[in-house]
Chain A
Amino acid sequence: MLQMNNISKIYRTDLVETHALSGVNLSVEEGEFIAVTGPSGSGKTTFLNITGLLETFEEGQYLLDGEDVSQLTDKHLSKLRNEKIGFIFQGFNLIADLNLYDNIEVPLIFRGINRQERKKRIEESLELVGLGSRASHFPAQLSGGQQQRVAIARALAGKPRFLLADEPTGNLDTMMARQVMELLQEINRQGTTLIMVTHDNELAQRAHRNIQILDGQVSDIAKSQLTDLAV
């Protein structure tokens, strides 16, 4: 489904050049569940952002469904983001001025889904994350964990083929984290490709495949090595 060849990302500020990713090679098959681990600042979010077409890169080639994304226009990229990719951000990135219903509805409107179908999907996805009764609440009226679940609901409502999650359980207690994990696994079982960044080795264990990012370098690791990681 996706193929990265020698991708590099450099952040240039006045003083320093940060090589957030250097020479990433990766191939992901449809339906895979990949857990990404690595120390803070190693480039996990950067990797996910590039994968999710939220950011450009300096070097290398990225093929998504065989399409070279560096050649695409903004309009085309936006369409791909909207239709193929679901994103669960590290910081939830809900729109503070809209209630939960509207927050989930916005990306569905971009896709041109009709009102009835939108309503159905919004209610389903809110139900799924246990916030069915809160549709008219605003993000600020929710706890961090609840906001995280809204962000998940927003990603799920779009029924993406490809779900990218940046620490989706970071703000949840162990119980809730497990529930969310099971939800994600279920979605994966139904065919959605899932790439998830996590600090939690126990959750990482559940993935089909584990990759590690260290200083901008991506490599596959065996499950047995997970426990060695300093978190």
Chain B
Amino acid sequence: MAIKHILKLILKHKSISLLITLQIAIAVTIVGNTSFISYRTLQNWLVPSHIAEEQIINVYTRAFDKNLDKGALIERDLQRLKALPGVESASYAGNELVLATVNGRNFAHNTLDTDNQGEYVALFAQTQGGVETLGVHISQGRHFYDTEYIFGAAAQNQRASVVMISNALAKKLFPQQSALGQTVYLHSDRAPYQVIAIYDDMMLGETAVYTNNWYHSAILPEAHYGRNSQINYLVKVAPNTDKTVLETIEDLLFEEDGRIVQQVEFAARAKKRLWDGRSTFAFIMMGISGIAILVTGVGIIALVSFSISVRKKEIGVLRALGASQSRVMQTLLIENSILAIVGIILGLFAALWLNQYFVTNLRIQGLIVPWLAGLVALCVWLLSATAVYIPARKAARIAPAQVTKTS
């Protein structure tokens, strides 16, 4: 049988051919998208954080007593925290905690031009010790001088003048030249800061990570505490410190009146929380996809088996006319592959469209991964080929006389 005849047969059996094609298209659409989303999630999981996740502790507290002298409280807290056994350093954290953005989104600009949207940045506003606590490794430039730190009641309206930025941010803002010595504009009022250091990439900011700017961050030597009731700290403990240190810190801070301790957690936990939402979506999609594979798999097998079983006689006639078993198998596999390929192409287009929908409407990370799309297509094709193979082999093995005898 030539391809011409196969095509004629496909067109003759329009409804079943269409059903098989659709079934395959649906399988490709759903399985394709799930794979993309799952794969991206997995890939993101595997982006290295380069931070000491099990050593850095985020501390969230809130001062509800309006008359509290916050500056004094913070100094007291930091001293006592540093005195705890196992604690290596501690710092007040004004804006972000590690992988937990506390005060909205932040952008960094390389120009005052207001049309420039800027780059997402995790903005760490720290007191002395902040750089050590984050575990930053400076590759170019210098440390902050003690005099550059802005802290205390009198300095609440003052800005620092210098900033350290991560290597990734430096490259993004100043692709052509060294960022060192350049001016970066920060905050909504676009205050100017001079870059005095560039440090190795670390995954630090929640919002930045959420927008895939894994390693965008900046550190400012300024700590304003008067703006709201939050009083947060970053603490770094020695490697392999027991979890009980979290309780110890909580108990210690709890002793202070007029303030509540909301949470004390390792950065590892913040990171996990950050990924949970996305993973949940990926798991839901995987579940749907599992069901889809099952339903479409069974559907494809049933449809294909049916389409072959109604053609038992035709197969016997072909055999009688001199088609060998392998030739019959080959013909049926080609026929099915034509349907499968059409289905797969339709499915890939549908997957593309659905993916676009997810990305724009649900802010899901799931851009097309071409090799994965190819793999899904191959698997679906294999599934449909297997579905043909079993009933086709059965039909091809029947002695041709069995079907030519009956009219």
Enumerate chain A interface residues (CB-CB to B < 8 A): 45-46, 49, 52, 54-56, 74-75, 77-79, 81-83, 87, 89-98, 102, 105-107, 109-111, 154
- Are B407 and A109 in contact, CB atoms less than 8 angstroms apart? no
- Are A110 and B13 in contact, CB atoms less than 8 angstroms apart? no
25 pairs, A vs B, C-beta closer than 8 Å: A49-B405, A54-B319, A54-B320, A54-B401, A75-B325, A78-B327, A81-B320, A81-B322, A82-B321, A83-B322, A89-B320, A90-B405, A90-B407, A91-B407, A93-B317, A93-B404, A94-B317, A95-B317, A98-B8, A102-B4, A105-B2, A105-B5, A106-B321, A107-B322, A110-B322
Cα A187 to Cα B9 in complex, Å, equals 33
Question: Who on chain A is nearest to B10 by CB?
Answer: A97
Our pick among B4, B5, B320, B322 for the contact of A79 (Cβ within 8 Å) is B322
Question: Who on chain A is nearest to B322 by CB?
Answer: A82
Chain A residues with CB under 8 Å of B319's CB are: 54, 78
Chain A residues with CB under 8 Å of B342's CB are: none
Chain B residues with CB under 8 Å of A106's CB are: 1, 5, 318, 321
Our pick among A87, A89, A98, A110 for the contact of B327 (Cβ within 8 Å) is A110
B323 within 8 A of A: yes
- Are B325 and A74 in contact, CB atoms less than 8 angstroms apart? yes
Cα A102 to Cα B326 in complex, Å, equals 21
Cα A135 to Cα B318 in complex, Å, equals 20
B400 within 8 A of A: yes
User: How many residues of B are in contact with the other chain, CB < 8 A?
Assistant: 29
Cα A89 to Cα B313 in complex, Å, equals 13
Known: A78-B325, A106-B318. 5 other contacts (CB 8 A): A52-B320, A95-B314, A97-B314, A106-B321, A107-B321
Our pick among B4, B401, B404 for the contact of A91 (Cβ within 8 Å) is B404
Cα A111 to Cα B403 in complex, Å, equals 22
Chain B residues with CB under 8 Å of A46's CB are: 401
- Are A49 and B406 in contact, CB atoms less than 8 angstroms apart? no
- Are B404 and A54 in contact, CB atoms less than 8 angstroms apart? yes
Chain B residues with CB under 8 Å of A83's CB are: 322
A78-B404 contact in complex given A97-B9, A102-B8, A106-B1, C-beta closer than 8 Å: no
- Are B320 and A109 in contact, CB atoms less than 8 angstroms apart? no
Cα A81 to Cα B325 in complex, Å, equals 13
Chain B residues with CB under 8 Å of A91's CB are: 404-407
Cα A111 to Cα B321 in complex, Å, equals 10
Question: Who on chain A is nearest to B403 by CB?
Answer: A93
B191 within 8 A of A: no
Question: Who on chain A is nearest to B5 by CB?
Answer: A102
